[in-house]
């Protein structure tokens, strides 16, 4: 059984955003989840696999009561997915012990992510530093290969943007497809069709879902770098999962929890999908 907990369901711009007093941010401050969203991360209970470490990861792990992480996967180098990386020192180091006996967490990097870590944000430098202290052990997954972690087979799936991977998790014939971000330009391979659960980034709202009114100017560069919600829906059509959950929900898109619930209802009625938008602390089970 895989039990998936959404530790953080925001994208690059979590909710509430310091200094912002929009309705979304004010409700998030007042009520917390489901209105408040921390950076993108999720945890798979059972195999105890963490995917990505946004800057709030320490808070997220405490909130979820997660004591043990068997392994961490990184989907790509972008800061909203990696900037909580110091959590490995926080969790695994205890300076009262001498000689040092740190806990050590295996960190799995798909091949291209490992290469990017050497180029961006000092990631390789910091992870090598932690590895020297013994709090992490870096393991590269070559393209086309899988690893098995506590009985779950994990396969990195390269997406269209060359720097990012989704992950296919398989156990007892169940298949869970998890894309943390960056579906731009992607179309799913045939073998992913009909997976039991697909977790995908929502994409940005170029258009208002209900009125069709344009929200983002046609020449805005973000439309080249990010998949839109409409494009994401097309990918879900092709993927045809038994269940789909949208996450990586950006504050600037301005959708309230109620807006997202209404959109999900329209998709259920119109497409017949089993579809929901994730919120922080949400748990789903695949058995
Ligand atoms: Zn992201
Ligand atoms: Zn706001």
Model confidence at 209, in pLDDT bands (50, 70, 90)? very high
Is the whole-model pTM more than 0.85? Answer: yes
Q: Which residues are within 5 Å of ligand 2 (an ion), measured at CB?
A: 17, 20, 22, 24-25
Q: What is the rounded average pLDDT of the residues 101-116?
A: 95
Name the percent of the chain lying above pLDDT 90. Answer: 94
Query: Above 90 in pLDDT, residue 115?
Result: yes
153-208 pLDDT tens trace: 999 999 998 999 999 999 999 999 999 998 999 999 999 999 999 999 999 999 99
Q: What is the rounded average pLDDT of the residues 123-149?
A: 97
pLDDT value of position 151: 96
Q: What is the rounded average pLDDT of the residues 244-263?
A: 97
CA–centroid distance, 223 to ligand 1, in Å, is: 15
Distance CA 77, CA 163 (A): 8
Peptide bond before 228: cis, by omega within 30 degrees of 0? no
User: 3-state SS of 249-270?
Assistant: ECHHHCCCHHHHHHHHHHHHHH
CATH of 2-278, one of 1.20.1250.20, 3.30.300.180, 3.60.15.10, 3.40.50.300: 3.60.15.10
CA–centroid distance, 95 to ligand 1, in Å, is: 33
CA–centroid distance, 39 to ligand 1, in Å, is: 8
Across the chain, mean pLDDT equals: 96
Domains of the chain, by residue range, sit at: 2-278
Q: 187: part of which helix (H) or strand (E)?
A: none
CA–centroid distance, 15 to ligand 2, in Å, is: 7
Half-sphere exposure of 139 (CA within 13 A, CB side): 16
CA–centroid distance, 169 to ligand 1, in Å, is: 20
CA–centroid distance, 205 to ligand 1, in Å, is: 15
Model confidence at 1, in pLDDT bands (50, 70, 90)? confident
Query: Above 90 in pLDDT, residue 102?
Result: no
CA–centroid distance, 222 to ligand 2, in Å, is: 19
* Nearest ligand, measured from the Cα of 256: 2
* Nearest ligand, measured from the Cα of 26: 2
Round to the nearest angstrom and report the end-to-end CA distance of the chain. Answer: 5
- A 10 A CB-CB count for 99 gives 4
pLDDT value of position 256: 97
CA–centroid distance, 91 to ligand 1, in Å, is: 24
């Amino acid at each position: 059984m895989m039990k998936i907990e959404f530790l953080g369901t925001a994208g690059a711009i979590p909710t509430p955003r310091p200094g912002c007093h929009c309705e979304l941010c004010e409700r998030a401050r007042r009520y917390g989840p489901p209105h408040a969203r921390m950076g993108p991360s999720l945890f798979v209970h059972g195999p105890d696999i963490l995917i990505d470490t946004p800057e709030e990861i320490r808070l997220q792990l405490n909130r979820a009561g997660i004591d043990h992480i068997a392994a961490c996967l990184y989907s790509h180098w972008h800061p909203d997915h990696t900037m909580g990386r110091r959590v490995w020192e926080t969790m695994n180091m205890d300076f009262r012990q001498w000689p040092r006996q740190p806990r050590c967490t295996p960190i799995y990097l798909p091949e291209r992510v490992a290469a990017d870590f050497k180029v961006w944000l000092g990631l390789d430098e910091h992870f090598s530093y932690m590895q020297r202290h013994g709090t992490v052990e870096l393991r590269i997954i070559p393209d086309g290969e899988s690893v098995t972690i506590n009985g779950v087979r994990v396969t990195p799936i390269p997406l269209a943007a060359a720097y990012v991977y989704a992950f296919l998790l398989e156990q007892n014939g169940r298949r869970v497809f998890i894309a943390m971000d960056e579906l731009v330009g992607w179309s799913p391979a045939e073998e992913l069709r009909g997976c039991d659960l697909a977790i995908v980034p929502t994409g940005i709202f170029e258009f208002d879902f209900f009125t069709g009114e344009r929200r983002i100017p046609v020449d805005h560069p973000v439309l080249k770098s990010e998949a839109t919600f409409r494009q994401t829906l097309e990918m879900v059509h092709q993927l045809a999962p038994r269940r789909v959950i949208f996450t990586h929900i950006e504050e600037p898109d301005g959708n309230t929890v109620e807006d997202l619930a209404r959109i999900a209802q329209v998709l259920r009625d119109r497409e017949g999908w089993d579809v929901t938008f994730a919120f922080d602390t949400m748990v789903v089970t695949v058995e």
